[in-house]
Structure 1
Amino acid sequence: MKRIYIALISLSSLFFVNCSDDYLDKNPISDVSEDSFFLTASDLELYTNGFYLLLPNSSSRGEIFTADSYSGEIVHNTLSDLMTDSRIVPSSGGGWNWNNLRDINYFLENYEKCDDESAKNRYGGVARFFRAYFYFNMVMNFGDVPWYDKTMEADDQDLYKARDSRQFVVDKILEDLDWAIAHMNDQSYAYEVSKYTALALKSRIGLFEGTFEKYHGIPGYEKYLQASISASEELMESSPYTLYSTGNPSSDYADLFRAEASETSEVILAREYTEPLTNGHRANYYTLTGSQGRPGMPKSVVNSYLNADGSRFTDQANYNTLSFADETADRDPRLSQTIRTSGYTRIGQSVELPPDLSFTITGYHLTKFVTAANSDGINQNTNDLPVFRFAEVLLNYAEAKAELGTATQEDMDKSIGLLRNRVDMPNVSVVDANANPDAYQEMFYPNVGGSNMGLILEIRRERRVELYMEGHRWNDIRRWKAGQSLTLPLRGIYLPGAGEYDLDGNGAIDLVVYEGELPTGQISGAKYFQLGTDIQLSADNLIDPLPDFNDRTFNENRDYLLPIPIQELQLNTNLVQNPNW
């Protein structure tokens, strides 16, 4: 049975902001801490439960599986302000919020009043993990930020100090994580931070900062890549985690994400959803109604999946003019476990379902995280969502090695090779990849070069495929300085004009694209769309989901960072706005 963890988080959040309990009313947190709180393991647990609200949640873009819409990795009938170059400098807010940090620092100033050494080590590690997590997001969004490791009062002059360098802040982040790793025990938890969660975050941060500095021309990046490698190696060699697999390459990947309770062999930390005590998430509703923007995978992602034999799909001259059934046949099995392809059925049902263009604007109908029909209502999904999983660690390891120029075939065998093996795909060859870099992948990452160019492109392909819909894409793009990839055309399936289409190749017409008036005597089971109104096609007969947004721009000298709000610059004159905002 799943533990009611989100409910505890919700209760603890009241502890911070609006405590109605008589005990807390009589003893505000600023008072109880010194004399009557932080004395027991239960006190420390109760306080730190509130920190979990920092993790991705079930609202709007906060949902893990919708986050990729921000960068166009999931296409909707509207685009984000990033994709449309419509971001502005806000007057306030805009992510420049320090309340959570104050709560964390307050805990770290008081938790050692507890006499329980084991509890202090565990929850001190939890707090430092979340301070690192908080600051990592601030650095990703704003670059240089002021580092605060104490609670700040209104008259504290440090409150108005200038920003510290991103390297200084990241070094402090890694110090916090190293403390957590050294002091927390070897116990693993599905829904709580552990030593292994701290290692996973260190692996992620080291890779982000190392590659960000490398591709943005900041010297000293190597130590961060090495930090990622060392954290990844410890998880790979001395942790209880491996890749989830039952030996069924046609379903294991999909099953990982639709499991009611996290597959803890691979998932290091998950967001838990439990009914009826708390709302679930909306993966089913998101992909199976027309009111959620009709999300779809873009063709550029589909094109990135290899053929089942390991050859490159885009090496075929006609890869852009294949029917849907033909282009999705004999591909990396993760494709058919992420979108509807021929033979797709819902869990617990036997009726084969083709892509439904009523619910997907590109024709590539998402199925990742989708469960049985009894969860199709709003916020009815109760399958866990992974925040950290072992697969990402393997990808981090492989990429950090390749970016440092030290990657060997053995490194690929124990990282990318394991991911490919789960779905019965051939491993990447270091020699072959570097001898023949993929021109299609180069289109997205033109600044990659050197002797390891081909291998780096293959690792980025693997990352895009393996982590699709898990919220990593925008952070990857900005650390790789690949913002121009956001301006490339957004396209869907190939439809050579008006006509009748058997999308899944089972002999029945699924889709009718018509011109003029709606045809009479309609085909049972087929969906009808008017060409030029319901569906628009590009010059090469690919669905053009957003023809009004084909001329998009990205400002390389501005758009990788967010602007500091106007009000903050006025309150603290030592702050300097990010470039070109």
Structure 2
Amino acid sequence: MKKITFKYISFIAGILVWFQFSCNKNVDLKPINEISDADYWKTAEQYKLAANEFYTYLISFAQVLYDPFAANTNAGSPHSDIRSDLVAQRNVFSNGTNPSVTTDGNWNSAYTRLRAINYLLSKDSADMSNTARSERLQYVAEAKFFRAYVYFDLLQQFGGVPVITRPLDINSPELQTPRGTREQVVDLIIKDLEEAIAFLPLESAINAANKGRISKGAAQAFLGRVTLYEGSWQKFRNGNAARYNALLDKSIAASDSVIASNQYQLFAPAALGDSALKYLFILEDEKSNPAGIGKSGNKEYILANRFSFSLRQIRQNVTHTWVNSALSKKFVDMFLAQDGLPVNKSSLFQGYAMTRSEFTNRDNRMRYTMMIDSNYYWDNENPGARSTWLGDAADIASSRGRHNAANGTGYQNQKWGTERRMNDNEEGYDWPVLRLAEVYLNYAEAIFERNGSISNADLDKSLNKVRNRVNKTMPKLSNELVTTNNLDMRTEIRRERTIELFLEGFRMDDLKRWKTAETEMPMDVLGVKWKGTRWESRWLVNGKAPYNLDANGNLIFEGSRQWAEKNYLLPIPTQQIQLNPNLTQNPGW
């Protein structure tokens, strides 16, 4: 484990996010990291300022849409969808060839963060009046949320890890502590979250100056995520049934609490119609959609990493990175037809013969997630950005022109791409750390995995709200639909999750907890059906197909992928094992 020698927490990072919260007069005093314990930890406002640093730990664009992996440090983005089977970008994680590493930046930063969090929590026993302690308990609860947040991130990457609950110095014996079990890590996460929930405010009780702080609903939603993750991880590895069923029960209860609170709602303004889900992800207070709706109109994000064009730009070239990025045929084929059936069962599916035919009569999320050959599109260029937002002649004249899909896999993404004129790297939309759609999907999956079935009433209460948000006429998922059409309920629940949460950092973690990565990840990454379609004459390279073809005439964008059992967890960095011989390596590494 990384040794940390500083005596006091540095709160400089917290000051960098000051704009998200109310101004604090302490910022005008001497630097926080120079204030001794004798001067500090006296007021709730000081605890609040200290907790501000933890908000910089939230996942964001850089950790999901990018993966700056360096082979010698393993400094990368473990939740990036680039590492999955749905995005066609070759890398050592997606093809199962990532090596053992000496050091790991994610491991190091996690324990640095835990040091800061544990330091604040250690001050909760300071001698203060009951009134003063009552006022600061919200920020102590925030610290417990973030300790759970950091440990869950470690669990997803490495499995059981050393459990440290107090700030250490260079002589602390805990520096030589062995790895805790998965059960110990998860139990601490649950304990922290349940204790935090008791003292966190409802979303409606958070005033405008403090919007963005952790709410009761955020901690409940996160508890629902954690317990679903670990419950399914244990279930699909033949773990203790009493243990994983208890975890699934907690997931159901936590998600249900969020749903029942009525504090949040799916983003579905009538003015945007079926395009609501497209514009949710690029919502800014500057005009970023045809209806001119700003961020105040978004009640779906339960917890967001907050950005702003004027105050805190994302500073990643999100639009140019992801508009036109290549997607796999596997993902594209997951979108249902409008009759609620998979393409291999639907009479509405128009086939692959033309470059646009497979988009006809499909789930509306498909055409707002992907780019369709020959459609007009906009981005942040000048010209190229929206002008009238009406789709009229003037708007089309300002577009980037008709899309040519003959590149990559033939399937391209448009999610996260702005249509508003701005310079590169200036996007200011928020990252959804937790949103209501995920809670609905977590609830449905936890119910099914706990009971082996799910009622139509529970589907309508949760998953169908997500499915039918922009598919008003599509049949709901129901037991009758599944039975009549010889479908599999688990497959359909997972399908909805994969489509809805695409490019939000869930896919790899889902494959791992379901223990299906060994099946899904070695599959060839395919592109469009080339043989016998319009693509065969349209897309040629030196008179031939741009890639090899499989037996069905589909382009093979990447083959020879692999996945070993060891890949379900990342290797413990060897330097940490040298520093602490009581650490053990993950199996296979």
Question: Which TM class, normalised by the smaller chain length?
Answer: 0.7 to 0.9
- Cα contact 1:101–1:131 (8 A) shared by 2: yes
- 1:145 matched to 2:161? The reply is yes
1:106 is matched with which residue: 101, 111, 119? 119
2:404 is matched with which residue: 347, 356, 367? 356
Q: Residue 498 of structure 1: CA displacement?
A: 9.7
Alpha-carbon distance between aligned partners in 1 of 2:104 and 2:234, rounded to the nearest angstrom? 27
Q: Which amino acid aligns with 2:516?
A: A
Q: Residue 101 of structure 1: CA displacement?
A: 0.3
Q: Which amino acid aligns with 2:496?
A: E
1:577/1:541 CA distance change after superposition, 3 Å: same
Q: Residue 241 of structure 1: CA displacement?
A: 1.0
Partner of 1:72: 85
- 1:191 matched to 2:212? The reply is yes
Alpha-carbon distance between aligned partners in 2 of 1:154 and 1:574, rounded to the nearest angstrom? 17
Q: Residue 386 of structure 1: CA displacement?
A: 1.2
1:489/1:181 CA distance change after superposition, 3 Å: same
1:331/1:345 CA distance change after superposition, 3 Å: same
- 1:200 matched to 2:226? The reply is no
Q: Secondary structure at the match of 2:220?
A: helix
Q: How many residues matched?
A: 515
Partner of 1:461: 495
Partner of 1:213: 234
Question: Among the aligned pairs, what percent are the same residue?
Answer: 30
- 1:562 matched to 2:570? The reply is yes
The range that moved more, 81-90 or 459-468, is 81-90
Alpha-carbon distance between aligned partners in 2 of 1:35 and 1:418, rounded to the nearest angstrom? 53
Partner of 1:237: 260
- 1:372 matched to 2:419? The reply is yes
Q: Secondary structure at the match of 1:387?
A: strand
Deviations 1:483-503 (A, max 9, x none): 1201112112223379779xx
Alpha-carbon distance between aligned partners in 2 of 1:455 and 1:67, rounded to the nearest angstrom? 27
Partner of 1:250: 274
Q: Secondary structure at the match of 1:34?
A: coil
- 1:44 matched to 2:51? The reply is no
Q: How does 1:445-484 map to 2 (within 5 A)?
A: 454-483=488-517, 484=519
Partner of 1:59: 62
Q: Residue 228 of structure 1: CA displacement?
A: 0.7
- Cα contact 1:285–1:379 (8 A) shared by 2: no
1:313/1:157 CA distance change after superposition, 3 Å: same
Q: Secondary structure at the match of 1:543?
A: strand
1:426/1:432 CA distance change after superposition, 3 Å: closer
Alpha-carbon distance between aligned partners in 2 of 1:257 and 1:576, rounded to the nearest angstrom? 41
Deviations 1:251-275 (A, max 9, x none): 1221211211544321111122223
Q: Secondary structure at the match of 1:388?
A: strand
Q: Secondary structure at the match of 1:361?
A: coil
Q: Residue 397 of structure 1: CA displacement?
A: 0.4
Q: Residue 50 of structure 1: CA displacement?
A: 1.1
The range that moved more, 225-234 or 322-331, is 322-331
Q: Secondary structure at the match of 1:492?
A: strand
Alpha-carbon distance between aligned partners in 1 of 2:180 and 2:586, rounded to the nearest angstrom? 13
Q: Which runs of 5+ in 1 are unaligned?
A: 13-19, 289-293, 439-453, 502-510, 517-529
Alpha-carbon distance between aligned partners in 2 of 1:172 and 1:21, rounded to the nearest angstrom? 37
TM value normalised by structure 2? 0.80
Structure 1 vs Structure 2 CA RMSD: 3.0
1:578 is matched with which residue: 571, 578, 586? 586
Q: Residue 536 of structure 1: CA displacement?
A: 5.4
Q: Residue 183 of structure 1: CA displacement?
A: 1.0
- 1:172 matched to 2:188? The reply is yes
1:412/1:552 CA distance change after superposition, 3 Å: same
Partner of 1:544: 556
TM value normalised by structure 1? 0.82
- 1:91 matched to 2:102? The reply is yes
Q: Which amino acid aligns with 1:34?
A: D
Partner of 1:445: none
1:573/1:7 CA distance change after superposition, 3 Å: closer
Q: How does 1:345-424 map to 2 (within 5 A)?
A: 345-346=377-378, 347=386, 348=389, 350-351=395-396, 354-357=402-405, 361-375=408-422, 377-405=423-451, 407-423=454-470, 424=472
Q: Residue 555 of structure 1: CA displacement?
A: 0.5
Q: Which amino acid aligns with 1:334?
A: R
1:6/1:462 CA distance change after superposition, 3 Å: farther
Alpha-carbon distance between aligned partners in 2 of 1:572 and 1:287, rounded to the nearest angstrom? 41
- Cα contact 1:498–1:513 (8 A) shared by 2: no
- Cα contact 1:190–1:267 (8 A) shared by 2: no
The range that moved more, 473-482 or 67-76, is 67-76
Q: Secondary structure at the match of 2:304?
A: strand
1:60/1:561 CA distance change after superposition, 3 Å: closer
1:146/1:341 CA distance change after superposition, 3 Å: same
Deviations 1:121-143 (A, max 9, x none): 21111101100000001111111
Alpha-carbon distance between aligned partners in 2 of 1:497 and 1:6, rounded to the nearest angstrom? 57
Q: Secondary structure at the match of 1:419?
A: helix
1:299 is matched with which residue: 306, 312, 329? 329
